[in-house]
Structure 1
Amino acid sequence: MAVRAVGCCALELILTGDPVPAARAAEIGLVNAVVPAGELLDAARGLVDRIIRHAPTAVSACLRAVTPGINLPIDEGLAVEAACFAATVPTDGVREGLRRFLDRPAAG
């Protein structure tokens, strides 16, 4: 007997309004991680720490590129991304990031 997948998770959730258990939300990519309630603040701080290691200009450019770009045709989305990247190139943050990248020991 052939088995076929049915539907789209997002559409199902929108149309049914069914609650989504945390494990299912993680399984379908709605959340990044599931942690015990007592560890939620530490997990959130860990995510923030990973983000703020990067230059604010770079983080801001990523947000400016992704947020509108997700709803654009691919060619327009890539143009938005390229413009955001180009705006970061002359910044100190990019120069510092490139210097750190080039100074890393070779993987191997």
Structure 2
Amino acid sequence: MPKVIYEKRGQIAYVTLNRPEVHNAIDTETDELLFEAWTRFRDDPEVRVAILTGSGDTTFCAGADLKTHVDSWLNAGPDLGRSVLEKGFAGRITRGLHRTPKPIIAGLNGWVIGGGIELALACDIRVASERANFGFFHIRRGMHFADGGIVRLVNTVGVGIAMELELMGEPIDAQRAKEIHLVNRVVPHDQVISTAEEIAAKILRNPRAAVESAKQTILEVIGRPLDDQLRLECLYGYATMGDPEIVERKEEFIQRRDQDRATTNSDT
């Protein structure tokens, strides 16, 4: 069986880590296969959303397979950071393909450990099984996040919580992850993928140009001064107005032909 399974169903691409015998740890071959999968997703005009999950029933991803990664890291010398700067981890969506404008939903079906947390954070929306746990054990082995994990952790949960998680090296369960906004939803174990598909369906009902522009805008404004954020939001937001699908949606709304109209007592 392939170490990464890529399936296309309608407008959704399903990417599955498929090494359950090693808790879906990412070795160098899996990393390359993920790069191929994410590139295919990015370049395929027929798919608009991806759902990422892990095979098996206990683990989403145990991070890097240390048997294939660590020796090369230890022997690389001080230029290691420069050598991997454009590559990132887990197929490049942590750094390199992180600007893919199409939304990616993570279905976290079990343990999420080390680099697996970085991979989950690189996704745009995270749905966790009630059985999921997040293991920040890498600090115990003398390593900290280096492929976007610290950056995205701070942006997602804030400085104080990021300090606690990254410095203590303790695991947290799904409910704690939900409380600190590390995940968007916690659902029964057998509903992880169906919930991800429900979210994907709601994304897909919206015009593509607006969805992709919104994602790009969010990524652009993170960490910038307020005036820069406001400027970028304006430039991105109004740039989509001439898109044919958005023009048609406007006419549908004006003529009351839109099928998912949200009505109020004042709607006329």
> How does the TM-score come out when normalised to structure 1?
0.82
Shift of 1:105: 7.4
Alignment partner for residue 54 of structure 1, among 184, 201, 206?
206
Partner of 1:107: 264
| Whole-angstrom CA distance in 2 between matches of 1:101 and 1:26 | 36
Give every structure 1 segment of 4 or more consecutive aligned residues whose post-TM-superposition deviation is greater than 6 Å: none
Partner of 1:3: none
Contact 1:65 1:80 in 2 (8 A): yes
Task: With a CA cutoff of 8 Å and minimum separation of 6, indicate the structure with the bigger relative contact order.
Answer: 1
Instruction: Give structure 1 stretches of 5+ with no counterpart.
Output: 1-6
Deviation at 1:75, TM superposition (A): 1.1
- Taking a change above 3 Å as real, the CA distance of residues 35 and 73 of structure 1, as seen in their structure-2 partners, is same
Give the whole-Å Cα distance in 1 for the aligned partners of 2:253 and 2:245: 12
Q: CA distance change for structure 1 residues 82 and 54 in 2, over 3 Å: closer, same or farther? A: same
Deviates more, 1:31-40 or 1:95-104: 95-104
Structure 2 Cα separation of the partners of residues 41 and 22 of structure 1: 16
Q: Which has the higher helix share?
A: 1
1:26 pairs with one of 157, 178, 184: 178
Q: Which is richer in strand?
A: 2
Q: 1:25 to 1:105 in 2, by over 3 A?
A: closer
CA distance in 2, matches of 1:82, 1:62: 11
Q: Work out the CA distance in 1 between the residues paired with 2:248 and 2:163.
A: 43
Indicate the residue corresponding to 2:26 in structure 1: none
Q: Relative to structure 1, is the Cα distance of residues 105 and 19 closer, same or farther in structure 2, using a 3 angstrom cutoff?
A: closer
**Aligned Cα root-mean-square deviation (Å):** 1.9
Q: 1:63 maps to what in 2?
A: 215
Unaligned runs of 5+ in 2: 1-158
Residue range with higher mean Cα deviation, 44-53 or 98-107: 98-107
Which letter maps to 1:65? T
The structural deviation recorded for 1:73 is 1.1
Q: CA deviation at 1:45?
A: 0.3
Equivalent position amino acid for 1:29 in 2: H
Q: 2:110 — aligned with what?
A: none
Q: Deviations over 1:54-106 (max 9, x none)?
A: 11100110011001211211111111111111210111122233234432475
Matched pairs, number:
102
Do the aligned residues in 2 keep the contact of 1:58 with 1:93 (CA within 8 Å)? no
Alpha-carbon distance in structure 1 between the residues aligned to 2:253 and 2:195: 27
Structure-2 change in CA distance of 1:105 and 1:61 (3 Å) = closer
Taking only the aligned residue pairs, the percentage that are identical comes to 31
Q: Secondary structure at the match of 1:8?
A: helix
